[in-house]
Amino acid sequence: MPQRNILLIVSGGIAAYKSLDLIRNLRKQGDCVRVVLTAGGEKFVTPLSVSALSGTAAYTDMWSLKDETEMGHIRLTREADAIIVAPATANLIAKTACGIADDLASTLLLATRKDTPVLFAPAMNTAMWENPVTQENIEKLKARGIRMIGPETGDMACGESGPGRMSEPETLLKALNALLGSGPLRGLSAIVTSGPTFEPIDPVRFIGNRASGKQGHALAAALATQGAAVTLVTGPVSLPDPAGCATVHIETAAEMKNAVCAAMPCDIAVCAAAVADWRPEHSANQKIKKTEGEPPAPVTLTENPDILAEISRSKNRPKLVIGFSLETQDLVENANIKRRRKGCDWILANSVHANADTNDTPVFGADSNTVYLITETNQELWPEMSKTKIAEALVARMIKTLRPQADGA
Ligand code: CTP
């Protein structure tokens, strides 16, 4: 991998100490890291520790004659293959959203060209994060193509608890690699469906299911980490958009199908969504009222399109089409029948229970699962593992199949 120039902007938050680890990890994988500290950032980490770890000067001042002669602050952004702001405080987010350039960090962000990938890792107190003004600023930045990673939910340094913690350095590194499209799947595109679909009965009621989207989102993230250009089409879930993926939010199966068609053609398709098989034939424009003494209004159902089957049979069929199957009995046999019926290459089959032996823990929303990988020639039982590990193992198998020369390199 050629050496990449990463510009890291550290603004003033307690999470700044984690950015020192990020510098180390970036250097370890061979990247050149230039670091800009805001005045707040300097309160939490010193220019000395930053430059000792990065091996270059820490940039702190817009008006430093020495820095300007040696580097020139605009060159700092021009030479960057990617910019990561970690931690990104509410203040720096607000300044970037408004185009304020009153210090080195905000000036560099304003002077950054559209084609330079920028990743923000927000970190702040929960109330600051949840404040509508911060949320509006985040939406503004996202609309301009800036990617967000985190924040995570948990205990905060200030003693409160909730969303606001900066993502761990390892997560930031993966997101950055995904953003730069490095890895063995570089040059390949993937579509992943995830989550449930909601089929409206009227403006307030719908038919849905318990899918959490954890497996589909983990797969999208794992594919992006290995360099694929990923479009994630997701139904309503309470998960953050995975870093490095283009995420499309839909509600109904028909909308999911349209979003998938719009993202086609692709090299890999993974249908992990729990698409509702049926939808109400008519969705009322107004809320259906209950009338005293009368039976409930009947809901007539009609079939939804089978997205997996349509992808498998499309003219531009992806090289690899993968489906999921959830069964309550004769797991392998039924999954194999489904694989043939839907025309996909592989099926990951799981029982309704995450642990096949004990029949406890329903798989919906669980963090781990026991699955079979079923292909035309093979069926393998994988030991119980987390949905993230399943995603990584499945992506490793995809690499073996699609990029055998990269496998084991
Ligand atoms: N799937 C899809 N579109 C649908 C229904 C399912 O893309 N309308 C995909 C799912 O994403 C999953 C696979 O098909 O990858 C299996 O879905 P499942 O609901 O288990 O299969 P069904 O067709 O409903 O079969 P059965 O009701 O017999 O279980």
Q: What is the DSSP string of 81-97?
A: SEEEEEEE-HHHHHHHH
pLDDT of residue 362: 60
* Residue 26: closest CA among 2, 41, 4: 4
**Which residue has a Cα nearest atom 3 of ligand 1?**
306
Which of 302, 303, 307 has most ligand 1 atoms within 8 Å of CB, for mutation? 307
**Which residue has a Cα nearest atom 20 of ligand 1?**
325
Cβ–ligand 1 contact at 275 (below 6 Å): yes
Dihedral over Cα of 86, 90, 92, 98: its sign? positive
Q: Going by DSSP bridges, is the β-strand pair 301-303/320-327 parallel, antiparallel, or unpaired? A: unpaired
Instruction: Report how far residue 320's alpha carbon sits from residue 8's, in angstroms, rounded to the nearest whole number.
Output: 37
Cβ–ligand 1 contact at 324 (below 6 Å): yes
CB–CB of 66/102 below 8 Å? no
pLDDT of residue 359: 54
**Which residue has a Cα nearest atom 9 of ligand 1?**
308
Helical residues (DSSP H) of 296-404, grouped into ranges: 307-312, 331-342, 387-402
Q: Which atom of ligand 1 is nearest to the CA of 327?
A: 29
Q: How far is the CA of 301 from the centre of ligand 1 (A)?
A: 17
**Which residue has a Cα nearest atom 16 of ligand 1?**
325
* Residue 378: closest CA among 332, 344, 325, 342: 332
* Residue 229: closest CA among 190, 269, 200: 190
CA distances from 149 to 109, 137, 364 (A): 17, 15, 25
Instruction: Report how far residue 181's alpha carbon sits from residue 400's, in angstroms, rounded to the nearest whole number.
Output: 18
pLDDT of residue 374: 96
Cβ–ligand 1 contact at 271 (below 6 Å): yes
Instruction: Report how far residue 371's alpha carbon sits from residue 353's, in angstroms, rounded to the nearest whole number.
Output: 10
Instruction: Report how far residue 185's alpha carbon sits from residue 196's, in angstroms, rounded to the nearest whole number.
Output: 27
Cβ–ligand 1 contact at 325 (below 6 Å): yes
Q: What H or E segment, with its residue span, contains residue 39?
A: helix 39-44
CA distances from 187 to 190, 204, 378 (A): 10, 43, 28
CB–CB of 105/9 below 8 Å? yes
Residue with tokens 């330079």: 116
* Residue 270: closest CA among 312, 240, 235, 304: 312
Q: Which atom of ligand 1 is nearest to the CA of 341?
A: 23
The residues pairing with 362 across neighbouring beta strands, listed in sequence order, are 353
Residue with tokens 């770890």: 53
Peptide bond into 87 cis (omega under 30): yes
What confidence tens digit (pLDDT) does each residue in 119-172 have? 999 999 999 999 999 999 999 998 888 989 999 998 877 788 889 999 999 999
Q: Which atom of ligand 1 is nearest to the CA of 325?
A: 20
pLDDT of residue 405: 75
Cβ–ligand 1 contact at 253 (below 6 Å): yes
**Which residue has a Cα nearest atom 22 of ligand 1?**
277
What confidence tens digit (pLDDT) does each residue in 210-251 have? 999 999 999 999 999 888 989 999 999 999 888 778 899 999
Q: Which atom of ligand 1 is nearest to the CA of 347?
A: 15
- Based on C-alpha coordinates, what's the Rg of the chain? 24
Give, as one character, the DSSP assignment of residue 196. B
Q: Three-class SS of residue 314?
A: coil
Cβ–ligand 1 contact at 304 (below 6 Å): yes
CB–CB of 320/290 below 8 Å? no
Cβ–ligand 1 contact at 250 (below 6 Å): no
Running along the chain, 409 residues long, what does each successive block of 10 average in pLDDT?
Answer: 86 96 92 96 96 93 74 86 97 98 95 92 96 96 88 84 92 86 84 98 96 96 90 95 88 97 96 97 93 90 98 97 92 94 96 58 73 94 94 96 73
- Determine how many CB atoms are found less than 10 A away from the CB of residue 92: 26
CB–CB of 286/202 below 8 Å? yes
Residue with tokens 């993968």: 322
| Catalytically annotated residues | 158
Buried b (16+ CB within 10 A) or exposed e, 3-15: ebebbbbbbbbbb
pLDDT of residue 45: 96
Instruction: Report how far residue 323's alpha carbon sits from residue 312's, in angstroms, rounded to the nearest whole number.
Output: 10
Cβ–ligand 1 contact at 322 (below 6 Å): no
Residue with tokens 């029948």: 337
Residues whose CB falls within 8 Å of the CB of residue 137, separated by 6 or more in sequence, listed in order: 90, 93, 94, 96, 97, 98
Q: How far is the CA of 308 from the centre of ligand 1 (A)?
A: 7
pTM above 0.75? no
Q: Which atom of ligand 1 is nearest to the CA of 326?
A: 20
- Max alpha carbon distance in the chain (Å)? 84
Cβ–ligand 1 contact at 393 (below 6 Å): no
Tokens representing residue 115 in the block: 């084609």
Region of 244 please: left (phi>0), alpha (psi -120 to 50) or beta: left
